[in-house]
């Protein structure tokens, strides 16, 4: 179990680094969703299924949607001007 948690912690820092190093906003949103997915797997490994559930629905459904919509809205408004 410690091996799984350790592996997930390493994966979490790698995917977190991925979020920071990604420069293109839309790709960054996907990197953030991937980071959330790893985080929810870690919560699951730490025996917190409710928290994992919340993290997975917010991190990979609600958060990416709101970011994508905001980015799309910015693009649409820029075109209009």
CA 3, 22, 18 angle in degrees (round to 5)?
A: 5
Q: Looking at residues 29 to 58 of the shown chain, list those that interact with another protein (rule: CB under 8 A).
A: 49-50, 52-54, 57-58
Give the orientation angle of helix 2-21 with respect to helix 25-45, to 10 degrees.
170
The reply to whether 13 sits near another protein by the rule CB under 8 A is no
61 binds another protein (CB under 8 A): yes
Query: Considering the rule CB under 8 A, would residue 62 count as an interface residue with another protein?
Result: yes
- Nearest CA to 42 among 30, 55, 31? 55
Q: What is the binding site for another protein (CB under 8 A)? A: 49-50, 52-54, 57-58, 61-62, 65-66, 69-70, 72-73, 76-77, 79-80
């Amino acid at each position: 179990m410690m091996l799984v948690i350790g592996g997930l912690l390493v994966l979490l820092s790698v995917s977190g680094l991925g979020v920071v190093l990604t420069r293109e906003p839309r790709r960054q949103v996907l990197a953030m969703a991937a980071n959330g997915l790893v985080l929810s797997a870690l919560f699951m490994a730490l025996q917190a299924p409710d928290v994992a559930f919340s993290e997975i629905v917010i991190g990979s459904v609600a958060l990416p949607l709101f970011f994508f919509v905001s980015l799309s809205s910015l693009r649409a408004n820029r075109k209009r001007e």
